[in-house]
Chains A and B, each alone.
Chain A
Amino acid sequence: MLNYLLGRLGQALLILAITFTAAFLLLQALPGDAILIKFMNPELGLTADQIADIRASYGADRPIWEQYAHTLGNFLTGNFGYSIQAGVPVRDRLLVSLPPTFQLAGLGFLAAAILAVAIAVLSTAFAWSWLRTVVQSIPSLFISLPVFWLGIMLIQLFSFQLNLVSVISPGPVERLVLPVLTLAIPISAPLAQILIRNIDAVLAQPFVAVARAKGASRQWVLWKHVARNAVLPTLTIAGVLFGELLAGAVVTEAVFGLNGLGSLTYKAVDSHDTGVLQAIVVISAATFVIINLIVDLLYPVFDPRLGARPGAST
């Protein structure tokens, strides 16, 4: 067990190291130098020497491995460098941008989970009828919706056609309703698909027939036997779901004009502010890796088969 833990931890660290290195090499060492973009602007009228001085002050003239070691050291101590475009520490900008995005993502996930469970439960309710086919194709439709378009359509419907949600100066809750819905609908699709698939797979298991033969009703079987076995595997996509959630939140912010990680990212992309991008990429990869690590460590707690000693299962 200890070997397994250490192995998983090592793997996680390795992925982070590769991510950091790749992000550093691609964003910092390759073309698109943010300093040049900002200061070569003819209106500033800086001479080549002055620009070189500025570059030196950012450490951009040093050998690449030195920059690498320097940046790595900074990242490890929680210092993500300076945003060249804004002239403030990246950490400060992240501290402002992350909370609203995490709030949106968190609420979106909650809504998505509820939606997914509702779809899955509905699909088991109509066993063997055309309604089931309809319900089961909902996830396919949901996942085919472009997030940004969905957001626009929701605004169109609820704000302009139905006048339910005000576009001008909405309240704090009102302002979040449509973004959360926009985010939740596509995210619920993979969850619902996995749930439906797992429920079908578990229902086909002989132990379900045994439970029915005990005299258990369909409802009893669903709650006592199917639910846990079907929900457990969805844990394994938690990491990927986080990535989708973050990407979805970033796009949703763009549609609804919300401030957060999205606007920070777009500004960084437009101005080649690589320090900011690098920090965002590394932090989201780290979150992904940590989520997966937690899932891996928690899984044996929920599934007794994995807590067993190797070889005991035969």
Chain B
Amino acid sequence: MTDTTAPILQRTDGAVAGNRPWRTRLRRLQPGLALAWLVVAVVLAWSIAPDLFTSYSPVDGVAGQQLRPPGAEHWLGTDGLGRDLYARIVHGARHSLTGAVVAVTVGLLLGTTLGLIAGARGGWLDAAVMRLVDTLLAIPSLLLSLSIIVLLGFGTINVAVAVGVVSVARFARLARSEVVRVRRSEYVEAAFGSGGSFIAVLWRHILPNSLTSVIALAALQFGSAILALSTLGFLGYGAPPPTPEWGLLIAEGRNYLSRAWWLTAAPGVVVVVAVLAADRISTSIGRTEP
């Protein structure tokens, strides 16, 4: 029963729209999807060239400018040390994005490889890999990443690797079930029937047809990674202060809860918008699949 093939806590819902013509779906999706890509583009630009977006320093505060509410001078206000919050968020994009990229890369490479091998080879290898995956899934994600952090130590990259390892199980399971699904399809049998060798069929049919949903999951995991990284940053396991990491910003803002609502609200909204954008893009990848 627990052997459901799709990732269970998936954030998107491709199945419902599955039977509507794709053209319609695409058209209906356009505005939201365009917005999602715009969000990703902006965050990417922030992380590549933060100075183009703000002239304030993310780490040095200005005396006498403490706890200014959002306004014309400081768009998102300032914190307790007089640092511009907008500048901190813009500069923090690099940490969140790098972390998410590392996490997704770790999960995608490790997980997909495991899943592909398990699904394509079958037999005892499949059973062994899947028991390993089951074990990874049995440990609550936060506890698993904390355990890995204990092993690796604190810091942005270590936390990112920990988040990535947690997602290995999801990638492996999806990749395997996709490979198994595609392998059972008639067009794969037909490809063998027309004389295709195992490698040729794997390359021409199994890989391209299984990878679409894996890529959709990668986009989804990108959002999840940002979420998980900010949680671990909030708990204090990521980069140390004064790094403007998004989760850390929220943690710091907590001390001014009664006086400066913007310090917690603004970075949180940025995280949510980034995660929603990744979710939207993932959905669109999943839906354009034939």
Contact = CB atoms under 8 A, between A and B. Distances in A.
Interface of A: 11, 14-15, 18-19, 22-23, 26-27, 30-32, 136, 139-141, 143-149, 152-153, 155-156, 160-161, 189-190, 193, 196-197, 200-201, 204, 235-237, 239-240, 242-244, 246-247, 250-251, 254, 265-266, 269, 272, 274, 277, 280-281, 284-285, 288-289, 292, 295-296, 299
B257 A285 contact: no
Nearest to B274: A144
B149 interface: yes
A265 B2 contact: no
Contacts of A266: 235
Given A152-B250, A160-B257, A251-B231, A244 B140 contact: yes
B24 interface: no
Contacts of A18: 131-132, 135
A295 B12 CA distance: 25
A15 B235 contact: no
B235 A156 contact: no
B13 A196 contact: yes
Interface hub of A161, A196, A284 (most chain B Cβ within 10 A): A284
Interface stretch (B99-107, B191-199, B258-266): B258-266
B146 A269 contact: yes
B237 interface: yes
Contact of A146 (B135, B150, B268): B268
Contacts of B58: none
Interface size class of B (residues with CB under 8 A): 35 or more
- Nearest 3 CB-CB pairs, A to B? A247-B142, A243-B140, A149-B268
Nearest to A199: B16
Interface stretch (B3-11, B66-74, B181-189, B201-209): B3-11
Contacts of B140: 242-244, 246-247, 284, 288
A277 B150 contact: yes
A197 B11 contact: no
B63 interface: no
B264 A153 contact: yes
A114 B134 CA distance: 29
Nearest to B19: A204
A161 B261 CA distance: 10
Given A146-B230, A196-B16, A247-B143, A152 B264 contact: yes
A299 B1 contact: yes
Chain A, interface SS category:
helix
14 contacts: A23-B147, A27-B151, A31-B151, A146-B250, A149-B230, A153-B268, A156-B261, A197-B13, A235-B1, A243-B139, A243-B140, A244-B9, A254-B235, A296-B2
Nearest to B283: A140
A52 B45 CA distance: 54
- Scoring A148, A204, A288, A299 by chain B CB atoms within 10 A of each residue's CB, the highest score goes to A148
Contact of B15 (A30, A139, A190, A201): A201
B138 A140 contact: no
Interface in B246-290: 247, 250-251, 253-254, 257-258, 261, 264-265, 268, 271-272, 275-276, 279
A149 B264 contact: yes
Contacts of A196: 13, 16
A240 B137 contact: yes
Contacts of A136: 13, 16
Contacts of B143: 246-247, 250, 265, 277, 280-281, 284
B223 interface: yes
Interface in B108-141: 131-132, 134-135, 137-141
Nearest to B234: A148
Contact of B139 (A153, A197, A284): A284
B264 A269 contact: no
B214 interface: no
B271 A197 contact: no
Contact of B131 (A14, A250, A251): A14
B138 A285 contact: yes
A19 B253 CA distance: 38
A225 B15 CA distance: 21
A155 B257 CA distance: 9
B151 A32 contact: yes
B250 A149 contact: yes
A143 B143 CA distance: 19
Nearest to A292: B2
A236 B227 contact: no
Given A149-B268, A152-B268, A277 B146 contact: yes
B139 A285 contact: yes
B20 to A, nearest CB: 12
B265 A15 contact: no
B268 A27 contact: no
